Chain A
Amino acid sequence: MAQPFRIATAGRLGKADPVRFTFDGKSFEGLHGDTLASALLANGVHLVGRSFKYHRPRGMVSAGAEEPNALVGVHRDAARRAPNVRATVQEIHEGLNAVSQNRWPSLSFDVGALNDLASPFFSAGFYYKTFMWPKAAWERVYEPFIRRAAGLGEAPDRPDPDCYANRFAHCDVLVIGGGAAGLSAALAAANAGARVILADEQAETGGALRYETGAMIDGMPGWNWAQAVTADLAARDNVRLLTRTTGFGYYAQNMVGLVERLTDHLVSPATDQPRERLWQVRAKRVVLATGAIERHMVFPDNDRPGIMLASAARTYLNHFGVTVGRNVAIYTAGDSAWQAALDLKRSGVSIAAIVDCRPDPQGPHVEEARRLGIECLTGHAVTGTGGRLRVSSIKVRPVSGGAERTIACDALLTSSGWTPAVHLFSQSRGKLAFDAETQRFLPGNAVQELVSVGACAGNIDLGETVAEALKAGHEAAGGVARKLPKLAADSTERWSGGMLGAGEGAGAESTAKAFVDFQNDVTAKDIRQAVREGMRSIEHVKRFTTTGMATDQGKTSNMHGLAIAAEMLDRPIPEVGLTTFRAPYTPVTFGALVGHGKGRLFEPVRRTPMHDWAEAHGAVFEDVGQWKRAWYFPQAGEDMHAAVARECRTVRQSAGIFDATTLGKIEVVGPDAARFMELMYTNPWQKLGVGRCRYGVMLREDGFIYDDGVVGRLAEDRFHVTTTTGGAPRVLNHMEDYLQTEFPDLKVYLTSTSEQWAVIAVQGPKSRDIIAPLVEGIDLSDDAMPHMSVREGMICGVPTRLFRMSFTGERGFEINVPADYGRAVWEAVWAEGEKHGACAYGTETMHVLRAEKGFIIVGQETDGTVTPHDAGLSWAIGKKKTDFVGMRGLARPDLVAPGRKQLVGLRTRDPKTVLEEGAQIVADPDAPVPVPMLGHVTSSYWSENCGHSIALALVAGGHERMGETLYVPMPEGAITVEVTSTVFFDEKGARTNG
């Protein structure tokens, strides 16, 4: 018979369509609306996984998000293989393919279960004790062993093909949880006219009303009321209803993170449909209605498949119409579990016994159980269980002591009471208060605009819960002036009673495995051992035993672990502490957090107007920050070395054309512009003539080089400042900082013009001949426009700021034109260049040519600890200036002390050897370890123009070492170098002037 454990008269799935799915390759049938857990249980399958450490057989414990055991892989296709999916949360759909985890070779026969026999070896803290020595064994033996043995599901090995969405939302009232409390609060808030968002983690709202059959609200059975209210709310314009949506994180100023699951329950989602959506909601008020989580009983061998929470069994029966067994036993310390026995009995399921460790529980549920003829063993405890892959019996004895008796069963429902779900409240930084009478941590003082209602606030009475939630929603909506709504609500059920910690048979002397934390295989004995070994704070107990550190974050187990530790320490629970609740409440996929920000959208890509031209001409690009820059332009048959050598030669023989657009550009304007420049740069600016340029050095206040660049004075009150490519934003920030906060009286405006100008550098002996036919209104002769000057005029019919400057040591120009004309002007220049045998060159050639001249690159020759003196730039400091940023810093004792690392040139003894950038420099490679390091190589290239390798380096006392022989130790042996000037080519600098 299909689905033998489905009871036709029970549950709400009724005549739902059958759905076929597979688990570990075997085909099963469930019903539309089932979770994977309910569908497996309908087929009598309890065994779904192996535990983490001992590989013990495990089944479903819960029917919800708190599930510690029933983790499976869900494989939609080769790339979509989600690990560690809770079977109690995953809805089934036609063709769903689920597999068990952490077992080999099969679920029912697993070699790793040997760990269970070897369990003394794996007791609490075994990581810290067992794998200590020998040290070498870590890499080869221990770590591979641990990695293979530990862990749960397998991560997919292909990129995630799904897309994920991200939305920001604002509302007046955000309600987390759609049970009786959350719906009441949302209803009241919506009635008061507030903009409401209601989020519930399940496919349908209703919360505990899903199984609590005794509830009546507004004259309707609780579940029916919930669906009616939900339909009402969903139809309202001021309400956004989000199901399958978990509030996972509570952040500052009422920012709450929600994740909405959109497609995991669908047979074949549309390819453009996001799998999940991250909501970042900023709410004026938050109503937390997150309910409570039932705890299991802690007793020997309490982890066999078929042993589950009483509320879970009720959910399977009352909602899904599935019984978890034919002959079910109950073990409880609270009232609510009795109701499970009554529900099952009324559906025709045999109840083996109700075992309640309390001596004399009272109430209508007790009387009803007795009336139905159920064996009620009050004052008794379950002290053991039998069965290999499924529970088959329990051992029962009186709490006061006495003979043990074995009772056969095929399922055991346990409950030790309810833990309020205060996770989000705690994440909001609200303080929790321990209620000694009911042994619960409850929300105390809130520090954000929020209120907790219902079971998460400790309320166990439905009527009170609904009244409290209506009031909370009403007030959160600011509806104080209106009449407070009322709803009649009552339940025949009771949630009172309960216990914390280990039960009978799992006491201090017991060596039995009484599990506290199922997912991390932590027993009561482990927690006691942690205390015996000196752990005092629950934070230490947690880390030593790993209790509560699994993917379920100890939702069912933390309170038990805490109580056992407190008992061992003989201290009250609040003094032992409570571990911190951290986001996320339940696991969140990386996909949801990343959203669209991956691949091409991970980071913006910046391209210059000439990018496409470079691409069409075969450029190889390099990333410089967010920019794509042409690196070199290989011709047919050329590798990088050959291309760069040719480009270097060509620039110095005729000319080269280079895209310098990425340089940062800042327009400094105003009557006080020169005064401001004096303060920001080391150089003097007041006397710089209009139409002239100067190489500027910018320092931080501590005296170290921050940036550099050529500055042109266009008018008395206008400077065109260039910065390094990467430095543009921070230089502007630095300038703005001083202008706004230190020198606010200066009349200066700063404008970033980096994106406004395209820059074409034309460098080389033929540069003037190339641009001359294109330029209008500017006299390009050396007399009229010498090196380091700037002119405004026209080129190719568009306005230009034309700089005569050089980063190559050749006669050179940098043509600034409005960015939109960059490509057209570039092509015109290129056409002229070709007539003179010019080439296009990239950043690599730019680097080599400037290094041949000893020009530094900030960030390559400097690292934030280099002064202008160190870099050989003392000449750039205005000697008569009374202040500039960094002036006082430069006089600090360490900055004027001898022996500082200074910039020098290096020549290798073998001219063909090219040093490695970053390589260390020593005086004696044979010195005993630790060898004193003198400095390092900052730039190193093959120089085609010099015919030998060149390098720049920072070397201690370098300026005094000219001609010295030093060594660069490398794995193949030390390389001998000679300290030289930083200028390798055209030392007198005659070429720049023509």
Chain B
Amino acid sequence: MLLIHCPYCEEGRPELEFRHAGEAHIARPENMAELSDEDFERFFFIRSNPKGIVYERWRHIHGCARFFNAARDTVSDRFLTTYKAGEPKPDLDGEGK
């Protein structure tokens, strides 16, 4: 069982308290009504699913209930960092390799 650091509680807590919530840094377009089919497809359906570092959303659902973001390496299943919703994507070494 993973330990996940909640950036709001500022504590590492067991995975049981959290729920995964999909890829991070996909902002909902403000001009939804004008979105082309292609843009909607990119926004809603297309996900990167890389091998390596993923930026993903988690919710501390059985804790503070906040959504936050995490960078996790899917090869080692290690969390590299977690950060609050709305904060910019951290620049991590090794990204994109």
Contact B2 A882 (CB under 8 A): no
Number of A-B contacts (CB under 8 A): 49
Contact B44 A701 (CB under 8 A): yes
Answer yes or no: B18 CB below 8 A from chain A CBs: no
Which of A356-364, A737-745, A855-863, A980-988 is near enough to bind chain B?
Answer: A737-745
A888 contacts across to B, CB distance below 8 A: 32-33, 35, 40
Contact B1 A280 (CB under 8 A): yes
A701 contacts across to B, CB distance below 8 A: 28, 44
* Chain B residue at smallest Cβ distance from A700: B44
Question: Could you say which of B32, B40, B59, B86 has the most chain A C-beta atoms within 10 Å of its C-beta?
Answer: B32
Contact residues on A (Cβ < 8 Å of other chain), bracket: 20 to 34
- For residue A428, give the distance in angstroms from its CB to the closest CB of chain B: 12
CA distance A447 to B57 in the complex (A): 25
Given contacts A702-B44, A737-B67, A741-B57, contact A447 B76 (CB under 8 A): yes
Answer yes or no: A108 CB below 8 A from chain B CBs: no
B54-81, CB < 8 A from A:
57, 59, 61, 65-67, 76-77
A447 contacts across to B, CB distance below 8 A: 76
A889 contacts which of B21, B44, B57, B61 (Cβ < 8 Å)? B44
Question: Could you say which of A252, A255, A744 has the most chain B C-beta atoms within 10 Å of its C-beta?
Answer: A252
Interface of B with A (CB < 8 Å)?
A: 1-3, 19, 21, 27-28, 32-33, 35, 37, 40, 44, 57, 59, 61, 65-67, 76-77, 85-86
Contact B1 A736 (CB under 8 A): no
Contact B33 A251 (CB under 8 A): no
CA distance A733 to B65 in the complex (A): 9
Given contacts A736-B67, A737-B67, A888-B40, contact A251 B1 (CB under 8 A): yes
A710-734, CB < 8 A from B:
733
A429 contacts across to B, CB distance below 8 A: 76
Given contacts A740-B85, A741-B85, A889-B44, contact A733 B2 (CB under 8 A): no
Answer yes or no: A367 CB below 8 A from chain B CBs: no
Contact A887 B85 (CB under 8 A): no
A252 contacts which of B35, B40, B67, B77 (Cβ < 8 Å)? B77
Q: A252-B1, A252-B77 are in contact. List 17 more A-B contacts (CB 8 A).
A: A251-B1, A282-B3, A733-B59, A733-B61, A736-B65, A740-B66, A740-B85, A741-B57, A741-B85, A741-B86, A742-B27, A742-B28, A744-B86, A882-B33, A883-B33, A888-B32, A893-B37
B59 contacts across to A, CB distance below 8 A: 733, 736-737
A893 contacts across to B, CB distance below 8 A: 37
- For residue A687, give the distance in angstroms from its CB to the closest CB of chain B: 20
Answer yes or no: A892 CB below 8 A from chain B CBs: yes
Answer yes or no: A253 CB below 8 A from chain B CBs: yes
Question: Could you say which of B35, B44, B86 has the most chain A C-beta atoms within 10 Å of its C-beta?
Answer: B44
- For residue B10, give the distance in angstroms from its CB to the closest CB of chain A: 18
- For residue A681, give the distance in angstroms from its CB to the closest CB of chain B: 15
Contact B32 A892 (CB under 8 A): no
Contact A741 B32 (CB under 8 A): no
CA distance A736 to B21 in the complex (A): 12
B35 contacts across to A, CB distance below 8 A: 888
A280 contacts across to B, CB distance below 8 A: 1
* Chain A residue at smallest Cβ distance from B85: A741
7 contacts between A and B (CB under 8 A): A733-B61, A740-B67, A882-B33, A883-B32, A888-B33, A888-B40, A892-B40
A892 contacts across to B, CB distance below 8 A: 37, 40
* Chain B residue at smallest Cβ distance from A732: B65
B86 contacts across to A, CB distance below 8 A: 741, 744
Complex A-B, nearest 8 residue pairs according to Cβ-Cβ distance, in ascending order = A888-B32, A742-B28, A740-B67, A253-B3, A741-B85, A252-B2, A883-B32, A741-B67
